[in-house]
Amino acid sequence: MSQTQILIIEDDPAIAQSLQAGLIRESFEVVLKSTAQDAIAFVQKSTPHLVLLDIRLPDGSGFDVCRKMRQMGFRFPIIILTAAHDIMDKVLGLEIGADDYITKPYNLRELVSRIRAQLRRAYGELSNADSDHLLVDDLVIDLSSGQILRNGISLNLTPTEFKLLVFMAHHRGQVLTRSQIIEAVWGYTPDLDSERTVNVHIRHLREKVEHDPETPNLILTVPGIGYRLVK
C-alpha cells in the first residue's frame, strides 16, 4: 500500500509540528494546514485519506470546515481535536459529519489507534502497510484479487482499466505522457492512433472512479502532455 496521507488542520505550530513528527514515526505522510481556507483549498486539489481537525481556527470554526467538506462530497474520515470538554461540542462534531473526536491533551498512542480504526472502517484492513493493496482517494486497489473497491463495493473495471489505474497509482503525482502509458499498460511502441486509445480508456476509467466524471478531481488532464493521478 502506498503511504497513507493525513491532513492536520491546526493553527498552533508547536502542537501541529509535534503531532506531525509523531505520525511520521508511525509511517504516515503528513500535511499541515493552519487555516480553514488553506485546508479547504488543499482537499479540493489533493484528497487526503484522513483529516485531524482542530475546532478553533484563526479564520473560522472547525465545525464549519467539517460541514463544508461533507457538503462537498468528501467521505474521508474526520477526527476532531478539541481542547473543549463540553459534551455538546463533541455531539455537534459527530452530528455534522465527524467520525470521531479526541480531547486535548491526548496520548499519541491512543490517537494513532483511533486513526488506524477509522482507516480500517473506511478502507478495509489497511492500517498496516500491505504490498497487496493501494489506496487512491477513497478507492482500495486489491492487487491480489484484481478488484477496485469503494466503500466495500467492487467497481466493474476491465482488465485494461485496472492495469491503467494501478500504473497511475504507482506514479501518483507524476505527469505521465500518453507514450509512457501505452508502453507500460499495453506493452508496445506508441503511435498516433494508440495515443488516442489512451484518451478513450481514461474517459471510461473516469466514468467508473470519479464522483463527477465531467469535472474530474482524481485523474487530471495535463494539456499537451498526458495525465496525472492526484491522489
* pLDDT recorded at residue 90: 67
Identify the architecture of domain 5-123 in CATH: 3-Layer(aba) Sandwich (3.40)
Distance CA 136, CA 148 (A): 10
- 23 in Cβ contact with 30 (< 8 Å): yes
Q: pTM (2 decimals)? A: 0.59
Cell of 188: 508496445
Distance CA 100, CA 79 (A): 5
pLDDT 10s digits, 153-172? 888 888 889 999 999 988 88
* Edge-to-edge order in the sheet of strand 226-229: 175-177, 226-229, 219-222
Identify the architecture of domain 133-229 in CATH: Orthogonal Bundle (1.10)
Burial class (CB in 10 A: 0-12, 13-18, 19+), 51: buried
Assess whether pLDDT exceeds 50 at residue 229: yes
Residues 6 or more apart whose Cβ sits within 8 Å of residue 192: none
pLDDT 10s digits, 120-135? 777 665 444 445 678 8
The residue ranges of every structural domain in the chain are 5-123, 133-229
Strand partners, 149: 140, 154
User: Residue 152: helix, strand or coil by DSSP?
Assistant: coil
- Residue 115 identity: I
pLDDT 10s digits, 163-200? 999 999 888 888 999 989 988 888 777 676 777 889 99
| Distances, alpha carbon 49 to alpha carbons 31, 148, 193, in Å | 11, 16, 37
| Torsional class of 77: left (φ above 0), alpha (ψ -120 to 50), beta (otherwise) | beta
- 218 in Cβ contact with 173 (< 8 Å): no
Residue of higher predicted confidence among 26 and 106: 26
Other beta carbons within 10 Å of 15: 16
pLDDT 10s digits, 11-60? 999 999 999 999 999 989 999 999 999 999 998 888 788 999 998 899 98
75-79, 102-106, 177-181, range with greatest mean pLDDT: 177-181
**Angle at the Cα of 46 (from 5 to 208), degrees rounded to 5?**
100
What percent helix, strand, coil does the chain show, rounded to 5? Answer: 40, 25, 35
